[in-house]
Structures are given as C-alpha cells and as structure tokens.
Chains A and B, each alone.
Chain A
Amino acid sequence: MPTENLPLEDHVARYVRHRLIQFDTETKAPVGIFPDAFQLRPGERDLSVSWVEYFEGDRKTQMKAVAEHSELRLGRRDGFGVLEVAALAGICEKHGAKVRVLYEPTKDPSHSAIHRYPRNNVAMEAELANAAAGDLSLVVDIRDS
C-alpha cells in the first residue's frame, strides 16, 4: 500500500486513559490531559492516533465512529484528545522533531501513526497534551451524543 500522509487540515484523535485525564476537583469535568498521554510506551516506535476525517459526517458522528472502531477497550471516563495534523506537526517541529502522520489502517480503518516521534521530549509532550485538551471528549459523552 502506498504511503499516505494525512492532509494537514484534517484531525487526529489520541486515545487517553482516564488516569491520564485531568478532572476538575470540584466539577469533575475533564479539563486537561497529562503529558504522559503523548509518550511512546516501551516497545512502541510510532504514536497511534485515529484519523477523524476518515469517517463521514459531522464531528459528533466522526468521533462516535472513532470510538466504535477503536481496537482498545474503552472505559466510560477514558477520552480522546483531538489535534489538527498541521498543528501537531508544527508543535513537534518546534521541538526538533519532523514527524510524519501516516494513514496505517489496522482492524481500525482510521488507524494512523505518527512516525519519527521522539522519546523523552517532555516539553513537546506537554505542549501536545495542552493543545489536545482544547478538544477533549470523554467516551461516555461521545457515545451519548
């Protein structure tokens, strides 16, 4: 299959476990994402994301499809943080990483991967998490929408 770069104006959703989501201590609303959500795990070479625009429809419909097609076991208070591909690449480049966001379907037809993603770049991970927190949805809300 030929390499397919995701369009810069499209968006990717990064799955975030509930324990990596910052919930407001009073309202319990999700307000942030810990930088650790954007770290490569041991053995991982690329950062996995879902290509939001792979699915048709409005954003709610697309996010519902992202959750439905995920190969992961999603908890109700897990979430997805969404980033524009250009913004993501820009943040990575600012921190010295020229990443490539490639479409690499698995059983999840929207699965994509961020290649050349560096390890141990705390500031970059923090900036990505901060940006993705601006468009963060919990699984329970996505399913109920």
Chain B
Amino acid sequence: MATMQTFDAGLIPRPDIRSLSSGTSWASSLLQERLRTILQSSAGNIVHQAMTSLPVEADKMHRLFNASAALKMAASEVSMHLPELWRRRLFENIDDLHDPDDWDESDQLADPDSFKTFLRAVLHLGIRKNMMLGISDDGNILAGLRRGSDSLAFAFLPGDRIRWSIVEHEGDTTNSAGGTTSLERLPNTLKSYNPEAWFGDADREPTA
C-alpha cells in the first residue's frame, strides 16, 4: 500500500510523490515507474503516433476511435493507481468526448502532452473526485468540478503547466480568481480556496 501524506494545503491525503525520486518504498518506486512510462515509453508514443501520424484522408470515425483508444491506453498505464469507478467514468468521459456525432472536422483532437499533464496532476494531487472533462479549441484537456453554483476548472497544458480558475458565491457576492501555474505549485496556489471541499472524497488510498 502506498504511503500517504498530507496534501500541501494540509488537508488532502495523496500518494507520497516526494519520495519517488529517492525510491524509499516499493509502492513509490512503482508509481515513479508508471509516471515515467507516461513521459517516456509506449503509451506516450502511442498517443503521439495515433494523433499525429494518421493519414489526412482517414475518416472521422477511425481518427476518433484511435484518439480515444490512445488516451485510454495512456491512462491504463497508471490505472492501478486510480479507483475502479473513477477510471471507468474517465473512460466513459473520453468516449463521450470522441462521439463522431458531436465531432466537427474543424475540432482539434486532444493534445497528448496535455493528457500527460492531466494524468500527472491526477496522480500527483490525489484528485479522485469525479471531474467533468472537455477539450479546448487548441486541444488541451479540461477538467471541471462543481459544488452547487460554484465551479473550479483546469486546463492542462503541455509541460506540467495548468491554467486554473475558480468561481465561488458568498451571499450576493461572487468571487472569482484564476491564473496559470505549474503542477508543483498548484496545491499551494489553491490553498486559499478550501481544497478539501473540492477534493473532499480524495481520501481513498491508491490500489497499488
């Protein structure tokens, strides 16, 4: 079982990522290895190949199927660290996003580097709450969380950069904030916004 430690904001348990580089436990080493695979090995390459090497004339359904499959394969590389229900919903979400009936030829397929940032964020931050996914006009993976009328949204950019925004209501007042930060700094950035409420069911331990 992976060692759990406190989320940087002091509220949310997450896998002990900091110990990965020193390899202090077999679970940490395994997680480190899995994270490395996203960046360096087959799944990441498969994502790139499926999304960048297809012939232009390949029909829409074929391209969408391949794109969807590539994302799922990348996620499968770390699936043992994701709760079963969360993973199943992620896959359903990926399928929904690639429904040929909804897809226009001008739409951009998901950027594989953005999806890597998404996966790393999920593992690094211990986000387990069901997120609603989207794809931006430039192919970045989007994730949204809602609590009543409040909303928290992320755009996962290549290279572990994350654009975030939050909208909260307090009586008649609406507070909003947003910016772009790194994956490493995101927990600290969100400290002021009650992360426990947003990632409240993030306390399930990884299954590894």
A119 at the interface (CB under 8 A from B): no
- Interface residue tally on B, bucketed by range: 35 or more
On whether the beta carbons of B153 and A126 are closer than 8 Å, the reply is yes
Min C-beta distance of A34 to chain B, whole Å:
5
> Do A127 and B174 touch (CB < 8 A)?
yes
- Total contacting residues, chain A, CB less than 8 A: 34
* Inter-chain contact B96/A23, CB cutoff 8 Å: yes
| Contact indicator per residue, chain B 172-188, by CB within 8 Å of chain A (1) or not (0) | 00101111100000000
Separation of A126 and B102 alpha carbons in the complex (Å): 24
Answer whether A32 and B132 are a contact pair too, CB < 8 Å, given A126-B178, A127-B176: yes
Segment at the A interface, from B22-30, B38-46, B135-143: B135-143
Decide: A73 and B165 in contact? CB cutoff 8 A. Answer: no
A78 within 8 A of B: yes
Cβ of A36: which chain B residues have Cβ within 8 Å of it? 134, 136-137, 142, 155
Count chain B CB atoms within 10 A of each CB in A28, A36, A39, A77 and give the residue with the most: A36
CA A136 – CA B131 in complex, angstroms?
A: 19
State how many angstroms separate the Cβ of B162 from the closest Cβ of chain A: 11
From A13-21, A45-53, A100-108, the one touching the partner chain is A13-21
Could you say which of B92, B137, B164 has the most chain A C-beta atoms within 10 Å of its C-beta? B137
The residue from A26, A73, A130 contacting B151, defined by CB atoms under 8 A apart = A130
The answer to whether A22 and B149 have CB atoms under 8 Å apart is no
Determine which of A17, A31, A73, A127 lies in contact with B132 in the assembled complex, contact meaning CB atoms within 8 Å: A31
- Beta-carbon contact of A123 and B165 below 8 Å: yes
Is the CB of B107 closer than 8 A to any CB of chain A? yes
Q: Report which A residues bind B (CB closer than 8 A).
A: 17-26, 28, 31-32, 34-36, 39, 41, 73, 75-78, 95, 122-127, 129-130, 133-134
Q: Which 6 A-B pairs have the closest CB atoms?
A: A122-B178, A126-B165, A22-B132, A130-B167, A123-B178, A127-B176
